[in-house]
Structure 1
Amino acid sequence: MFKRVHASLGRSRHAAGKTGRRARGIAAVTTTAVVLTVAATAAYGAVTDGAETGSHALKRIGTAPRVPAGATAAGTTASGTTLHLSVNLSPRDPQALTDFITEVSTPGNPRYHQYLGKGKFASAFGPTRATIAAVAQALKADGLTPGKLSSDGLSLPVTATVAQASHAFGTGFKNVRLKDGTIDYLNASAPALPADVAASVSGIVGLSNVNSITSHHTAVRHLSGSASVTGPHPRTVAPRTYTPGMCTDFTDAAGQAGFADGTDYYSPGKLAANYGMTSSATAGAGQTVAVFEMENADPNSIATYQSCVGTNTSVSYRYVDTTAGSGTPAGTDQDGYGVGTETALDIEDLIGLVPGASIIDYQGPDADNATDQNVLDVYQQMVTDDQAQVISTSWGECESVMAGATASAENAIFQEAAAQGQSIVAASGDSGSSDCAPATGSTANAVDDPASQPYVTGVGGTTMTGTGSTKTQKAWGVSQDGGSGGGVSSRWGPVLYQGGIATTTKRAVPDVAALADPNDGYPIYTLDDADSSSPEPSILGGTSGAAPTWAAAIVQANASTGCQTNGRVGFLNDALYKAARSSYPTNFWDVTSGNNSVYATGYTAAAGYDEVTGLGSPKEAGLITSLCAAKGTAATGASTFHPLSSPKRLLDTRNGTGWGLSSIPSTKPLVAGGTAPVRIEGAGGIPSSGVTAVVLNLTVTGTTGSGSLIAWADGTAKPSTSNLNWTGAGQTIAASSTVTVAGDGVVDLYTSSTTHVIADVQGYYTSGTTGSTYTALKPARLLDTRSKVGISTTSKITNAVVSLKVRGHGGVPTGASSVVLNLTATQTVGSGYLEAYPEGATRPTASNVNWAVTGTTIPNLVVVPIGSDGNVSLYVHGTSHVIADVSGYFSTSGSAFHTVTPLRLLDTRTTSALGAGKTLALQISGRDAIASTGVKAVVLTVTVTGTTGSGYLTAWADGGTRPTASNLNWVSGKTIANQVIVPVGSDGKIDFYVSSTTQVLADVAGYIS
């Protein structure tokens, strides 16, 4: 038979609550006030959220902590109460740190897998010595004594009384009685620091001891069987030689309960087989994995499990803010379970799947008595020790309950781990879509921290049945009994790696999933209750089991030949989502049924990504190939151009083209702050390798407000430049862009406001010499329907094709293969678009210029192959006048193209607008990555904004005569961007002329030499 800790089989420990939670040892309450408001101590007079007036300028950092739901006032906190705080400092250059993590995580980047060495974070990205000294001095000036700076430079410890902290940080303190009877304290307002140092501090942790961190395992099914032991003596299981199955002690006990391997539980061998993982005594050899714990461990339980499965895995213990055995009394954990149950699940799961690895248990104080500071200390120790390549945590806290200062401090620590090449996986929780329900009673959608952290891989849960060809799985979710945590973060914005896959307005959780249902869970040995010292054969579930399972999958990848050759996986999420885009069925076992509606209606599993099981469960063989890919090389040097016979559509978020996982279309727009990765190599007739840049026609439509679009090489830092700009809702705007393509063959598109995005490829560059090269021309007007230029009438064009003579006109020779035209639609009527294509070819389905309303004037640069008759065709859908100015051509006798990292060369907003009729000279040669000599033309995105009337901009080589052609045209109040390819003068400069006053921005994409 078997024994249940709770009457309901598989009931989540979260559903049971923490009824046995003890009141923490804090100073006596001084009042019995019944309202939850306490005035902040006025250390310097009134303090607001901004800069202050008076003798000391102060600034609040973050926000006041939230009072937990169901809490009641319990008076003010005694002034002598001791606080253990950390003043957490921001990295010296947060953007540089983010960029570095992207670079070391991206195949093809020169820094790929060149992680920071142990102890190098502080010197590379930690705050400067001057910053540290200034913050320390400010604390001392307010009567505090900072301790020793952490080795990564991210935190200054401070021990202070409530009275000292109240004075130093301008806040009062109050006690609250939580719904379980515990009395905790918290600060009444956000802490304040002198404004000159506040910007360097991400938050102050430890001002509150309200903490609801808990482990994510379910109720234990303890089995009794042939080898059951009575009395106080430890249980012993006869050692045996390694096998991925369980010993007879376990299987006999399970059999008496009617439980079978592969149906009611999964032995390590059958679990590994279902995920395509290796089963051997040496699996994971040479690797180290660390587990995060906030409870006492029971080494005897772990030893008993090792005897059962025949392993001799190295397990060591590190104590942070605590000492061995100083937690809960032997025999019970904070909820009345056997001591170390969570630790037993984490470690024993890892032992079964990667017995050749070394395991380090980082143990902090018991969760009952732990503060957020204790939690941070454990994570920081795991990262600064930098001994484990993989970190697994099965503990968490409802994201919306966690203090912002704690979340920010965690984020910095997890970024440090990513920079060092450490992978972090975290259980997503067992409360379905309502992660706060156990702690606060709220059934609103919420996710778990740290699974929702951007630099952590959140692991959800599944139910599994069978093995081999009969195996099935669905999302784990049983009303009130537990289910896979998942949903959308309330704190973190959309993340780059989820672009096009999780089309949400915030970070989506989880990223992946594995077995979690306790009804077919993990076989372990653990203590039963407070009266037992004998480990019992048991079955356990929860996302607490799913997280170490994924940790084991990463350990096996790191131990593989591929990763041993090309470097360990490191930050996992970039690689995971790239693997999903490249070959989803090869790398993931998709979960398409079930939901996580535990306390309230949640999310439903579906094909591809979903907020219940993420990308799905691992297919280890495919993942190892993807995660351990060779570095690859990004093509560099001179490039030649290859036009497409007609534009090919690579992305259209309106119908799912190129949007998200293959064969899983989404019709959602790209959300504000979201990113759409677009595969270039191997798509639309483009080669699968060797591409250095691509010429895209980018279109936004169905805009929801003003915004901008940025395009750049995937795996490189998002630039501060822009490629397309719009000014309001309901607009359709297009612009051509030349975008560098990095080693993975993907381009990223980011929008600052929600809109549909279309990307049509016109041609591409390669590092070979087989393509054509560019010759810049002084811009010349080939067509203007307003004044009979290139056409015999002055009528607007309506739903008709204009034949434009190109070869032999405007300086284009007979040997030209493609022409670069600046096309402008003006005096439009209603909505419409314009398409350019080689004469004689089939008209494409992609457009070059788009307009939505009457009276529009809008330009766009296009690269068009020339028809065999020397002409190109311009089709007008709708009614508009059309202008075409030639600025250059491609042939076999021109100059090569060179890519550069997008960079802003000009922004008149930092000085003054360019006045009407004025000319501005801009230095090109020698700027940043641009060659200092031999530059013949430059590729720019030019934007005008703050326009004061209708006008136009013309760009040309400095020293030459201003041409009559234009590059940008606008009407008053518009923000317009267009790509231009401008000849560079002999002095290395170009000139801009504007006919009406406007601000001008110029971003470089490459140059011709």
Structure 2
Amino acid sequence: MRGVRLIRWLLVTVLALVALPVVPAAAQAHGSPVDHHRPTGERACPRSSDPLQASCTAWLRTDLPRLASVPPNQNPPGLNPLDLRRAYNLPAQHGMGRTVAINVAYHHPDLESDLAVYRGQFHLPTCTTASGCLRVINQRGGSTLPTVEPAWSFEEAIDVDMVSASCPNCRILVVEDDSAFDLDLFTGVDQAVAQGTKFVSNSWTFPETSSEDSFDFHFSNNPGVAFTFSSGDTGGQTQYPAASPYVTAVGGTTLTRAYGRRGFAESAWNGTGCGCSLFEPKPAFQHDTICPNSRAIADVSAVADIATGPAVYTTSPTPNGATGWVVAGGTSVSTPLVAGMYALADNPAPGPFPNSYPYARPQDFFDITTGSAGAFSAMPGYDTPTGIGTPNGIAGLRDPRHAWHGTAGHGSRADTNVRW
């Protein structure tokens, strides 16, 4: 009888252990709240009905409790900077002396203090206006900043946090444009370049139109600048300016923890914008047969799914009223992440446009072969939802004509022309 009871006890114990939810390693180690429900989310910026007004591509996860603060040395829900650097094999010390510009509509009133909370929580170097690490200007280069629009404030919070995550030693220039209309946003692009920055992140999109190539000169006239643009959150539809053959179109993935050397697995995010441009010609560096005669989108990708997205901090109310620590998604996450990775790699030089660099070194990317968006599926080699893939280190984001020079201050090119 005692043997039967022992067997029953062991069986019940094993079944109970099997039924326990699997807690991510980071949550076990740091005490992060763990969610066991189906993730839900919403767009920060509603789709614009005006073809001349852009939409931001930020998403907000809505099924998690709001956290105004998190105790020191604990992680809020979502991926943290160390997770992201491990997932993409990023060096910790590169990027010193380089500046990433973020071009965004409207104004975030608490940007500096919110960024201080984010960087302090994860033990990143401080980045303040007083130190010269952070600078915020308007589209004319002045200090009179535009009005506040909550959805775009959330977008701006994502942008600065993600640049901080991928390139914590980079300086950040934020160009706040008067509105989300085309003339203001492209004026902001030009202002970022005029300030001397070599890396310009843009997390906004327009629907493609037959006249879009009239804006391409903003990029084609600056071959030594890496422009990253969101491919959109349209689930297999193309967007502009990601469709421009002169910019890096950044798609989105679902990034999950997994066994193995990398510690993560990745698939195409079903919400990512992608496909064959309706109007732009195929650049010489693209050789895929998916879009035989037109620009294929995306070029590269990184995490964008809100179900597996990063932690972001903002005190400017998000569209659903949440403030504090939230989980973000959309190609608004992947785009500034990749901009920071370009800055880690090296300054571009006039010649091949920086969006061509990944095509010269596909071996330096994780090839994403599962998942789909709309009618397009990930597959071995190039595909439109994820492009060449996601960065495995930074070599694939460097000019292939130049040898590796090390970190800034030790042989590589720092930003020597940035106006501060």
Q: TM-score, normalised by structure 2?
A: 0.76
C-alpha displacement of 1:516: 0.3
Alignment gaps of 5+ in structure 1:
19-67, 69-177, 179-209, 229-236, 239-246, 260-264, 435-446, 478-482, 632-1009
Matched, 1:459 2:250: yes
- The structure 2 residue matched to 1:398, chosen from 204, 207, 215, is 207
SS of equivalent residue, structure 1 residue 340: helix
Partner amino acid, structure 2, of 1:315? L
Partner of 1:606: 379
Please tell me whether residue 518 in structure 1 is matched to residue 306 in structure 2.
Answer: yes
Aligned equivalent of 1:537: 325
Give per-residue Cα distances to partners, 1:465-497, cap 9 Å, x unaligned: 1164442110001xxxxx110011111112111
Q: Using a 3 Å threshold, how does the CA distance of structure 1 residues 499 and 288 change in structure 2: closer, same or farther? A: same
Residues 345 and 524, structure 1, Cα contact 8 Å, conserved in 2? yes
CA contact (8 A) 1:10 1:218 kept: yes
What is the match of residue 54 of structure 2?
213
Structure 1 counterpart SS, 2:60: coil
Q: Matches of 2:95 and 2:351 in 1, distance apart?
A: 14
Of structures 1 and 2, the larger Rg is shown by: 1
Partner of 1:327: 147
Residues 497-896 of structure 1 mapped to structure 2, 5 A cutoff:
497-500=285-288, 503-527=291-315, 529=317, 536-558=324-346, 571-580=353-362, 584=363, 587-597=364-374, 602-620=375-393, 622-623=395-396, 627=400, 629-630=402-403
- Provide the rounded CA distance (Å) in 2 between the counterparts of 1:520 and 1:323: 37
Conserved in 2, the CA contact under 8 Å of 1:10 and 1:517?
no
Partner of 2:91: 278
Gaps of at least 5 residues in structure 2 are 1-31, 128-132, 405-420
Residue identity matched to 1:290: A
* Equivalent position to 2:222, from 405, 417, 438: 417
Q: Which residue of 2 aligns with 1:362?
A: 175
Which one-letter code corresponds to 1:574 in the other structure? S
Question: Which of 313, 318, 322 is the matching residue for 2:137?
Answer: 318
Aligned length: 358
Deviation sequence 1:307-358 (CA, Å, 0-9, x none): 2223213110110168645313xxx52xxx4x61111111111112212111
The one of 370, 377, 388 aligned to 2:187:
377
Q: Which amino acid aligns with 2:384?
A: E
Q: How far did residue 574 of structure 1 move?
A: 2.5
Partner residue in 1 for 2:409: none
Q: Matches of 1:569 and 1:269 in 2, distance apart? A: 34
Instruction: Describe the shift of the 1:396–1:537 C-alpha distance in structure 2 as closer, same or farther (beyond 3 A).
Output: same
Cα offset, 1:523, TM superposition? 1.0
Instruction: Specify the code of the residue in structure 2 equivalent to 1:433.
Output: G
Other structure's SS at 1:498 match: coil
Equivalent pairs: percent with the same residue? 24
| Alignment correspondent of 1:431 | 234
Residue 408 (structure 1) aligns with: 213
Are the structure 2 counterparts of residues 455 and 13 from structure 1 closer, same or farther at C-alpha, using a change threshold of 3 Å? same
User: Is the contact made by 1:223 and 1:537 (CA closer than 8 Å) also made in structure 2?
Assistant: no
**C-alpha deviation, 1:461, in angstroms:** 0.3
Following superposition of structure 1 onto structure 2, how do residues 46-65 of structure 1 map, counting pairs within 5 Å?
Answer: none
Q: Measure, in 2, the Cα distance between the counterparts of 1:528 and 1:573.
A: 33
- Kindly indicate whether the alpha-carbon contact (under 8 Å) linking 2:203 and 2:332 is maintained by their aligned counterparts in 1: yes
CA gap of 1:394–1:612, structure 2 versus 1, over 3 A, is same
- Give the whole-Å Cα distance in 1 for the aligned partners of 2:322 and 2:57: 23
Aligned residue in 2 for 1:346 = 159
Question: Given residue 244 of structure 2, which amino acid in structure 1 is its aligned partner?
Answer: Q
**CA separation of 1:473 and 1:577: change in aligned 2, threshold 3 A:** same
Secondary structure of 1:293's match? strand
Structure 2 vs 1, CA of residues 527 and 326 (structure 1 numbering), >3 Å: closer, same or farther? Answer: same
Q: Which amino acid aligns with 2:206?
A: E
Following superposition, the deviation at residue 410 of structure 1 comes to 2.3
Structure 1: how far apart are the matches of 2:214 and 2:53?
17
Structure 2 residue 117 is the aligned partner of structure 1 residue 304: yes
User: How many Å separate the matches in 2 of 1:569 and 1:266?
Assistant: 36
Residue type of the partner of 2:139?
V
Query: What secondary structure does 1:490 align onto?
Result: strand
Please name the residue that 2:13 is paired with. Answer: none
Q: 1: distance between equivalents of 2:339 and 2:257?
A: 23
* Within-5 A mapping of 1:109-124: none
Report the residue type matching 2:335 in the other structure: A
Cα displacement string for residues 860-912 of structure 1 (whole angstroms, at most 9, x for unaligned residues):
xxxxxxxxxxxxxxxxxxxxxxxxxxxxxxxxxxxxxxxxxxxxxxxxxxxxx
Q: Which residue of 2 aligns with 1:267?
A: 80
Q: Compared with structure 1, are the counterparts of its residues 269 and 495 closer, same or farther at alpha carbon in structure 2 (3 Å cutoff)?
A: same
SS state of the match for residue 164, structure 2?
helix
Cα deviations by residue, 1:525-573 (Å, 9 ceiling, x for unpaired): 01363899995011101101111111111111117xxx8xxx6997212
- Aligned-partner Cα distance in 2 for 1:539–1:590: 26
- Check the 8 A contact 1:527/1:533 in 2, yes or no: no
Q: One-letter code of the match for 2:253? A: T
Which secondary structure state, in structure 2, belongs to the residue aligned with residue 463 of structure 1?
A: strand
Q: Is the 8 A contact 1:383 1:413 kept in 2?
A: no
- Answer whether contact 1:591 1:605 (CA < 8 A) is retained: yes
| Bigger helix share | 2
Tell me the SS of whatever aligns to 2:137: strand
Amino acid at match of 2:265: T
User: In structure 2, what is the Cα distance between the partners aligned to 1:530 and 1:457?
Assistant: 28
Contact 2:104–2:174 (CA under 8 A) maintained in structure 1: yes
- After superposition, the C-alpha distances for 1:347-406 in whole angstroms (9 at most, x for unaligned) are 111112212111100110133xxx322122111212233x11111111111113xx71xx
Code of the residue aligned with 1:393 in structure 2: it is N
Give distance in 2, aligned partners of 1:569 and 1:517: 34
* Native 8 Å contact 1:557 1:628 kept in 2: no
Look up the match of 1:493. 281
- 2:239 is the alignment partner of 1:448: yes
CA shift, 1:304, in A, is 1.7
Contact 1:426 1:459 in 2 (8 A): yes
Query: Aligned partners of 1:380, 1:621: CA distance in 2, in Å?
Result: 26
1:9 pairs with 2:40: yes
Alignment match of 1:287 (pick from 74, 98, 121): 98
- Structure 2 CA distance for partners of 1:342 and 1:13, relative to 1, 3 Å: closer
Distance 1:350 1:530 in 2: 20
Amino acid at match of 2:247: V
Q: Distance in 2 between matches of 1:392 and 1:573?
A: 13
Q: Please tell me whether the aligned partners of residues 422 and 570 of structure 1 are also in contact (alpha carbons under 8 angstroms).
A: no
* 1:345 and 1:544 in contact (8 A); partners too: yes
Contact 2:342 2:394 survives alignment (8 Å): no
Provide the C-alpha distance between the structure 1 equivalents of 2:218 and 2:95, rounded to a whole number of angstroms: 25
Question: Which runs of 4 or more aligned residues in structure 1 lie more than 6 Å from their structure 2 counterparts after TM superposition?
Answer: 530-534
- Indicate how the Cα distance of structure 1 residues 340 and 352 shifts in structure 2: closer, same or farther if over 3 A, else same: same
SS of the equivalent of 1:507 reads: strand
Q: CA–CA distance in 2 between the matches of 1:308 and 1:466?
A: 22
Q: Distance in 2 between matches of 1:623 and 1:212?
A: 33
State how far apart, in whole Å, the 2-side matches of 1:603 and 1:449 are: 18
